[in-house]
Structure formats: C-alpha cells, structure tokens
C-alpha cells in the first residue's frame, strides 16, 4: 500500500510513546527497551495491539535506540534488533487491515 492510499482521508494515525508504555509495563531504569523484543516480545506486542485498537494505522517498531553505541556489550547487532522488533510489530498487526509496522530509528549518537 502506498503512503497516499493510507492518507486518503487526509489523516494518518501513528502510535507514540513506546518508551512510556514499556516503563508502565515494568521496564527498569537503565534497561535497554529494544532488547525486550527478545526477552519479552509479548509485552511489546501487547502495546502494539493497544495502539492498533486505538486506531493507529502505523505502529513504530521498538527500534528507537537500536544503534551500535547503545547495543554495545549486549551481544546483539542493530540489524538483529531491528529485524526482531519489526517481526514483533508485524505479528501484532497481522490480520488487521491497513495496519503497518515501521522502523523508528533514533539518532546514532544518542547516548
């Protein structure tokens, strides 16, 4: 589906505040939220599903800080994290027409 088709009514509804939702779900200070796609994918998927239920047409994958600096020492590469986060988002959107996962990269120098 093309972007123009998604905004045929003049609006495109996106999700937001994944980090805030993850904190509400128990993300601890200093924990890397992107790794929850491996350790607690059901938690991330549930957040995606709530955004979809609220009307989001685009759900951002949990990839905001998936960069080499933030992932250093985790054993994961940015490519692995982005791929897994998009899988979780895609699975959460499965069977829901006109709902699309998207990457949400943060700045590579984010510290």
Confidence of residue 107 (pLDDT cuts 50, 70, 90): low
Helix (H, G, I), strand (E, B) or coil at 7: coil
pLDDT tens per residue across span 54-101: 999 999 999 988 988 889 999 999 999 999 999 999 999 999 888 888
The whole-angstrom separation of Cα 26 and Cα 55 is 24
Q: Does residue 21 register a pLDDT over 80?
A: yes
């Amino acid at each position: 589906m093309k972007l123009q088709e998604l905004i045929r009514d003049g609006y495109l509804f996106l999700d937001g505040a994944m980090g805030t939702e993850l904190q509400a779900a128990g993300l601890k200070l200093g924990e890397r939220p992107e790794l929850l796609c491996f350790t607690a994918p059901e938690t991330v998927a549930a957040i995606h599903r709530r955004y979809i239920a609220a009307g989001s047409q685009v759900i951002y994958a949990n990839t905001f800080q998936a960069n080499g600096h933030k992932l250093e020492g985790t054993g994961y590469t940015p490519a692995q994290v982005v791929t897994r986060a998009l899988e979780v988002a895609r699975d959460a959107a499965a069977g829901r027409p006109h709902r699309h996962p998207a990457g949400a990269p943060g700045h590579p120098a984010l510290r």
